Amino acid sequence: MLEFSVCGRSLCGIGKDAKGQNMIVVWNLTEVERGMLTVTAKAHTDVDVIAAALDPVDSARLVTCGHDNVQLWRVRDGSLRCCSVSLRGGQKRAGISDVCYKTTKETAAGVTIYVSCLSGEVVRIDPDLAAVTSVQSLRSDPSLVESRRPSSCISITAMAASASLFATTSTDGFLRFWMPDFSRVLIEVEHEEPLLQVVFTQDGHRALVSTAVGSLAIVDVATDSYRTLLRAHTDEVLDMAVSEDLLGTVSADGTIRIWSLETSQQLYDFSISGEVPCNISFRSSSSEFACGFLSGRVTVFSVPQAKALTELKQLRGQITGLAYCAGHEGTLCYCDQFGTITLYRTSGTGYRLIRGLPNAVYRHLELAPNALVVSRNGSHIACVGPSEYVVTVMDTAALNEVLRIDVSSVKLPSGAPYPALDTAQQVAFLTSAASHELLVATSGSRLLRFDAWSGKLLAQLQPVHTGACTAVIASVDGRYVLTAGDNCIKVWDSSLRTNVIPQMFIGHSSRINSLCFTADGASLVSAGDSVFYWSFVRSREQKSLDSNDVYRKPELQSNAASLSVHHLIDDIPCRDISTSLNTRTAELITRQGNQRPVTPQNFRQAFEQKEEKEEGKQFSVPKAKKHFKKAMKQSSLAQRRYTALAGQAGLKLNSVIGFNGNSRNNVVWHPETGLFIYTSGCVAIVEDLKDGTQRHLMGHVEEISTLALQHDCQVLVSASGSSGAAACSQMCVWDMQSLACRTVLSQHRTDVQSLDFCLDDRFLLSVGNYQDPKIIIWSTYDWTVTMTTHASYPVHTALWNPFRSCEFMTVGEQGRMTFWLLEENHSNRTLAQLSMHEPDVPDELLYNKLGNVVHFTSACYISDKHLCLGTSSGRLALWDTTTNICIMHWIADESEIGVITGRSERLVTGSQNRLCLWDAAGLTQLSDSSQTLPKVAVSGDMELEGYVTTANFDSALVMGIVGTDTGTLWYINWSENVHIRLVSSHRDKVTALVRCPGNGFITSSKDGSIRVWTLASRELTMQFEVAGQSCNCISLSPVNLDSVLMRPSPSKTQKWFPLLVAGYDNGSLRIFDLNKVEMIKKLVPHVASVTVVMFSDDGQAIISGTCKGNIAISSPLTGIVIKHINGQRGAAITSIDCMAASSAQFSNLPSVWLAASRDQRVSVWAADWPHDKCKLVDWLSFPSLADAEDAHFPSLAFFSPVDSSLIFYTGYGIQKAIQLYSLQQQQVVKSIALTDWAYSMDVSPNGNLIVCGTEGRLVKLIDVVEESFQDFTAHSDNVQCVSFSPDGTDILSAASNEVHQWHALLL
């Protein structure tokens, strides 16, 4: 906020500094006319400040107020001194809203301070005594001034004082003028909207009041008159349109406003509840206009009737382009963020849909609001699409393609410092009497001019803007081209000659979203943070440039057109850019080795010689565990997915069980707020540590490699790798308030190794993995690239200096480390420069005992002058960051140091199976000239399972959360010396998943372990592990086996678990008693790997199959093999199912079971296990492909839960389908088509739903009756296990080592 003194000689400003602290600055304005502005005094304060006022008598005094405080300030001897006013408890609790001075003769200072409260009280303060002298409650009715009824109190939001009056604004929308003693109200003005501020003119006769909807009004107290001075949007103007004498604007504040260009006054105001408009276009008659919204809605409004006329087809996403076609009165085109163009024809007030063209426009919100542009005669439209490299021209009759231009194929001028692959950003038509041309602005800061009929390149110009070009437009006569970018407008000659410099006009403080000429071409309107109305002044004489002069001496000439702004502001200065035209705008990374001090000037030449070599350099896979290596995946996300509409989804992700131990620094814990985030596969989990509830961030396709959280906890960035050879990695930017993805950043070609925010959160640092060690610095203001370079080695860790802004460091392979300095250009942030320094590393630190070079794996700044570094040999080193010299190093562990975190005199290090707390008193006092070194000792030591990959601790290093590569998260408490398991997961792929009685389930894995989980709390309750073996399958016995197995029956209060049988890859079966938590029997019925195992329905037999096609039936009581079946030998057994027979066709035998093999054969058997009877009932052979036996897709067969004569089958056959086979009818009675091969399948208890896991990473929910399905994405690999709960209310799915619980909404 800003406050001028009454005399005009002082200005007070209140805001926040770079560290977020409140700061008060007082400037001296006496020399401002001579161009001198000096700071009189400044100070920081810890209290909040919501209002301030300067003393009208003594400009060296001022008063500030916060919600619960009042501070008196005085400038003395170049400093600001503060005195707090002691408020009474009532006023402190009520909430202060404003403060003002009033001149008076009652005090020695000549002024009195009045403070207003939301409770309706006015507090009077004597500035000399710094004390409250009186408190008065204001009432809405003068007759109730003495009343104590709370209902009559006025909640005051702002206050002002003149010599004879007081003015207040309140939450009820009233502006009131009071007598000096507040005894009664003189004038009362009611508003429909909330009021923000009120201020008197110097004579005190008039008052200015502002409202929350952007209007400003003046009240004349003497004449009781009220006049609105102006109206304005309260948020960014997203788009605008001009038609004859009207201007239409749409804003992020949710309003659509129509203005008069002649008077600059607002005429109409439209809005739709819950909708935000983003595009607008007038019909040529000016009686109608169309508006597009963020939701995809398009509405046509009538200006004379001031109402909505019709609703057009709603698209899926935000409307990015919308335009009526001039000359075609009844043609309207619009498109959305997903690339669909819709064409309407209208007659009268009716609109008729002509064509919808999908995937025609490039999918990018940055194209809005100018994604579609129309030629001046309305016959053609142009857009960027279908890819970012192509510009397409279509006719407006039926959207038939007329011309397609590939801008990436346009050759760059020689010596241009821009990437060879260019993309289109903005498009515009340039129409003159002699030509019909197309203008294209590109990401490489080029402006291209094409012939709109042939596509021939006519001219090109660069650079246009240093940042993105946000709008392009040509003048009505075609002589000039106007571009918007870098918050300014440039006017170019339409010939795009390189020797003619543009004129630049500034005034906007942020992005310019739209440019538009009036119908006569005499005025220009620009919209962004506000709306500017410019006069477009042409010169009377158009000068030409003689070619001989250009050849002899290429002089720079200025354009003949100029802009002057009127109506909204008086004058806009013009910036001289002639000195910057030849400035190189590509990034400069400066490098210099083994020299100090580190200065940018020493490194420029070194960078230019090395950069090209390092960008294409290939590195081998790093040996350090610290480096992220993507888990091997057998699949990719399905390209064809059928997702449900909003509110119609059949499944909802309820919880995720597990933690990805393969990622690095993928846990975020903020002790002050309790925010806890970790990753599993491609999902980031936001978990409440108090009640265990989860929320999920889903937007990635591949495994998330790392996370980074801003210091204010407002933004989280998650990174994942590329999903194909041509795709880039994804960096999702999440708003932590709404958990919505703001934007997706894609610059790294491979996985992202490290992310980190700088101290003030202005920059984000990202580093690629060893395949492409690219370093990118992002501006968090608009998430654009500020600087990029390539490291000369694979980087393991990158982090900003938390004590010095714009400094960061990287460490990596072969004992390499680099200190970096980002040099900002405050006038143009895109011209920043990067400097670096690689220090000398002592040989004792660089080499291990065997003489091999070690790797630097971790680092942490422990003070403003000291850095601690960890190596792959287990050493810790302390560096002086002021001189970049290693001060000391010591052996900390026998294995690689993966994590270091430190605060002052304490350090925590994590390595293989170990977490250490170090007492490092005295380290921060060391320098490179110190003669003695302090002692460093271990004060705490914990053994953890696995290599430590991530650690987050509180500021005192007492409590923390640590993750290891075994998929475990631990809570650490050093004061109590305890570590508690928070999250667990398998180390390898989950092979099987079964439900157990109650709220639990059991999983097996290739890591040889079997884990029993509690579903509600996601806790691991018990675990069995066989070293060196892979557990391929598991099955639970029925719960009524106590008599069969000769074990005592449980009491009513005692919970008993069934038996568990597991099959291993050495051909053995193991039976576990979950009640005793022990293995009770081992069977070896096979010599080949067991692929599937199942208890019979009565639990008296165990049926197991192998990868060779052998089936064995064993007794769980004796362990003896009852029967061998070799009818399906040669193809792996992939599924077995058992159930009680419900049909007399099974020879009256009580049990029925089936076995399916990979060669599409299914054998069906009936059995009576107590009497050793087992009979073949049917033999099914489904059509298969020639390579079915070599395919990795299983054959899956299950009995219907409600009818044992009906079999659900799917496999690698001629068609992708689920077939329902009736044993009674001996035929397939229904076939349900699939879009992908199924890896797993389960049927709901009532048989009406099927859930499938596919190779395309989808969980597919299928309605058996309707034969419809929905696809759900959340896994990072093929889904190998799915299972319904016994009541069918939820589903478990497993992919890789991830387990997800879904809530079934369709029952």
CA dist., res. 533 & res. 683, Å (int): 48
pLDDT at 159: 93
Assess contact for 1300 and 686: CB atoms under 8 A.
no
Q: CA dihedral in degrees (35, 38, 44, 45; nearest 10)?
A: -80
pLDDT at 431: 77
**Helix (H/G/I), strand (E/B), else coil: 829:** helix
Residue burial 1251-1281, b: 16+ Cβ < 10 Å; e: rest = bbbbbbbbbbbbebeeeebbbbbbbbbbbbb
**Helix (H/G/I), strand (E/B), else coil: 707:** strand
Q: Given the structure tokens 């005190």, which residue do they identify? A: 204
CA dist., res. 902 & res. 570, Å (int): 56
Query: Which residue from 1272, 1214, 1260 is spatially nearest to 1235, judged by alpha carbons?
Result: 1260
Query: Which residue from 845, 824, 826, 846 is spatially nearest to 835, judged by alpha carbons?
Result: 824
Written as one string, the DSSP assignment of 1070-1119 is: EEEETTTTEEEEEE---SS-EEEEEE-TTSS-EEEEETTS-EEEE-TTT-
Q: Order of strands across the sheet with 237-243? A: 237-243, 246-251, 255-260, 266-271
For the chain, list residues with pLDDT below 70: 88-94, 108, 140-152, 285-286, 327-329, 348-349, 412-421, 432-435, 538-617, 724-727, 826-831, 904, 927-932, 1039-1056, 1143-1145, 1186-1191, 1307
Strands 833-837 and 589-590: parallel
pLDDT at 581: 24
Residue burial 872-883, b: 16+ Cβ < 10 Å; e: rest = bbbbbbbbbbeb
Please state the length of the chain.
Answer: 1307
Question: Model confidence over 1022-1053: pLDDT tens digits?
Answer: 999 998 899 999 999 986 555 455 555 555 44
* H or E stretch covering 822: strand 816-823
pTM score over 0.85: no
Q: Order of strands across the sheet with 959-964? A: 899-903, 906-919, 937-953, 959-964, 968-973, 978-983
Q: Hey, what are 834's tokens? A: 């990067």
CA dist., res. 621 & res. 855, Å (int): 13
What separation in angstroms does the CA of 454 have from each of 298, 387, 1258? 34, 20, 46
Q: Hey, what are 1183's tokens? A: 């059509």
* H or E stretch covering 609: helix 604-615
**Helix (H/G/I), strand (E/B), else coil: 440:** strand
Say if residue 1034 is exposed, middle or buried (CB neighbours under 10 Å; 0-12, 13-18, 19+): buried
Q: Hey, what are 75's tokens? A: 């400038």
* 493 DSSP β-pair partners: 480
Give the HSE-up count for residue 1114: Cα atoms under 13 Å, Cβ half-sphere: 28
Query: What is the Rg, in whole angstroms, of the alpha carbon atoms belonging to the chain?
Result: 37
Assess contact for 883 and 598: CB atoms under 8 A.
no
What separation in angstroms does the CA of 170 have from each of 772, 1137, 1181? 60, 73, 82
CA dist., res. 801 & res. 15, Å (int): 25
**Helix (H/G/I), strand (E/B), else coil: 878:** strand
Assess contact for 790 and 615: CB atoms under 8 A.
yes
Q: How many CB atoms lie within 10 A of CB 1236?
A: 21
Q: How many CB atoms lie within 10 A of CB 174?
A: 16
Say if residue 413 is exposed, middle or buried (CB neighbours under 10 Å; 0-12, 13-18, 19+): exposed
Query: Which residue from 1239, 1247, 1248, 1251 is spatially nearest to 1302, judged by alpha carbons?
Result: 1251
Assess contact for 398 and 343: CB atoms under 8 A.
yes
Question: Model confidence over 979-1006: pLDDT tens digits?
Answer: 999 999 998 999 999 998 778 899 999 9
pLDDT at 950: 96
CA dist., res. 446 & res. 469, Å (int): 9
Give the HSE-up count for residue 753: Cα atoms under 13 Å, Cβ half-sphere: 30
Handedness of CA 1035, 1038, 1041, 1044 (dihedral sign): negative
Task: Read off the DSSP letter of residue 139.
Answer: B
